[in-house]
Structure 1
């Protein structure tokens, strides 16, 4: 593989078009830069630059090699990031990516069970409403992903386990006027200030359909939520006053409902989360296997 100095020199000269500026960007002399560029050309067997006294431009071969070099640079950067992460977390760390819906209901009990068997295992729980979690899983950002996979595209080398379909619950302060209006549709929910985790495009499509499709439905859904946050501690904090309607997992609101702080909104139509677990098919980690098996014990 091309050495890193040669790769960096090629990309710097391709970007600046100037040996002096490229050498300055790399922190090397013009002679060293010229030597590195020569190494890049020797490695590829191609003439990569048209050289003149004042500038250097890419040859046609250089232009075709540029995206290859950029991809190689990205791979090297990703490698460096992963190695640094390994140093930070150590090999005995399980990386779990998850949406904000699953931390207490699924991850916490599985984590407790795994720790009984592997007490020295460390856990890193990365909570976010990821737009493309399977891509991140394949890239190695997670060992296991757990969250709403309403949209589950075909993904090579990924094993998906459907955990449960849970009805979305909408709640509001016990004195909120929505409780006096009887069973609601989604249109009725959206008449009030509404807060929820991130609504990715596939959820928005589901909501648009529930509102009858059409331009008005699209406009209405695109304006939601009024407050978007993936931290449920923040979302439930909005319920201390009769202002917002908040949507989420039923278990999130259990304690507030039990203490009569909030009440579930009665609904005419129901929507469900599609909670799934995902991991790479080629798994060699004992920790991943154990965590996966514990998740399977919680399938509905």
Structure 2
């Protein structure tokens, strides 16, 4: 396995093709650079460079190894960042991963409750509709995930907690045409510009079914959304446009609704969302247990 010095020497020399320039960029002497490159060749078991006066080109094996080395460097840098996070943590940090619909709905009240018990609690929240939660839990990248996990295969080492189904709502500017009817067909909502977080395949399947399950419905859903972002602060800022519809949770739009600038749209049929929380079984970390308990108290 290459160490950081020999890996850096290989990549820098491969980039410059010149020993003197590579040594200067790496901040070492020519002799040190030569030693690091020799170490790299010993560690991989084949020649990486053709030695020529002034210039050093990659051998065929060196060219094949270059892609591997770049990937290894990326992985080492990611590892160093994770180690830095571990060093900076005091043992009071909980890492939460969640989908865009849950931060105000569940994450915010759970954190507020936990802070009343442990005022120096630290929480790091990663919001994305494209996360791979089970893999992140198993690798230790996150401690708790909150979002849609109803289609996740059963795993022995993951503890799941189901929440009551929640209705997904749609919101639009008070002057939007859809507000002219007390209840509008769900299909009518998508006749207008629609903004939402990323719609993964299970959301698309649910919307297609709600719209009748036809090929026409599937085609309509495939075109969604017109504007995609996992940042709800950005999505709700778009509601000044009286032609746009945004989908989300009631809590997402509560402040704008209270000002009278935005109204919720009642649809038929109504879409519901299955929300789960997940954590790795047998963690035994008090701070994780504290957040987990706060989430459990929200199931009512």
Say whether residues 1:51 and 2:47 are aligned partners: no
Using the alignment, how far apart are the partners of 1:25 and 1:150 within structure 2?
A: 51
Q: What is the deviation of 1:185?
A: 3.5
Gaps of 5+ in 1: none
Q: What is the deviation of 1:168?
A: 1.0
Match of 2:107 in 1: 107
1:163/1:275 contact within 8 Å kept: yes
Q: What is the deviation of 1:156?
A: 8.1
Q: How many residues align?
A: 297
| SS across alignment from 2:129 | coil
Q: 1:213 to 1:87 in 2, by over 3 A?
A: farther
Deviations 1:9-37 (A, max 9, x none): 23334555554454344233332222112
User: Is the deviation greater in 122-131 or in 30-39?
Assistant: 122-131
Q: What is the deviation of 1:85?
A: 2.9
TM-score, normalised relative to structure 1: 0.78
2:186/2:270 contact within 8 Å kept: no
Q: How big is the alpha-carbon RMSD for the aligned residues of Structure 1 and Structure 2?
A: 3.5
Match of 2:92 in 1: 92
Match of 2:121 in 1: 121
| SS across alignment from 1:168 | strand
Match of 1:250 in 2: 250
| SS across alignment from 2:23 | helix
TM-score, normalised relative to structure 2: 0.78
Q: What is the deviation of 1:242?
A: 4.5
1:146/1:277 contact within 8 Å kept: yes
Deviations 1:22-75 (A, max 9, x none): 43442333322221122223344x123253425343454x56765654454233
Q: 1:243 to 1:213 in 2, by over 3 A?
A: same
1:185/1:269 contact within 8 Å kept: yes
2:99/2:129 contact within 8 Å kept: yes
Q: 1:241 to 1:22 in 2, by over 3 A?
A: closer
Q: 1:10 to 1:157 in 2, by over 3 A?
A: farther
Using the alignment, how far apart are the partners of 1:15 and 1:255 within structure 2?
A: 53
Say whether residues 1:10 and 2:10 are aligned partners: yes
Gaps of 5+ in 2: none
The correspondence of residues 123-162 of structure 1 with structure 2, limited to 5 A, is 123-149=123-149, 152=152, 158-162=158-162
| SS across alignment from 1:170 | strand
Q: 1:77 to 1:178 in 2, by over 3 A?
A: same
Match of 1:79 in 2: 79
Using the alignment, how far apart are the partners of 1:152 and 1:21 within structure 2?
A: 52
Deviations 1:199-232 (A, max 9, x none): 3454334434444453x54553344334444444
Using the alignment, how far apart are the partners of 2:143 and 2:91 within structure 1?
A: 12
| SS across alignment from 2:120 | coil
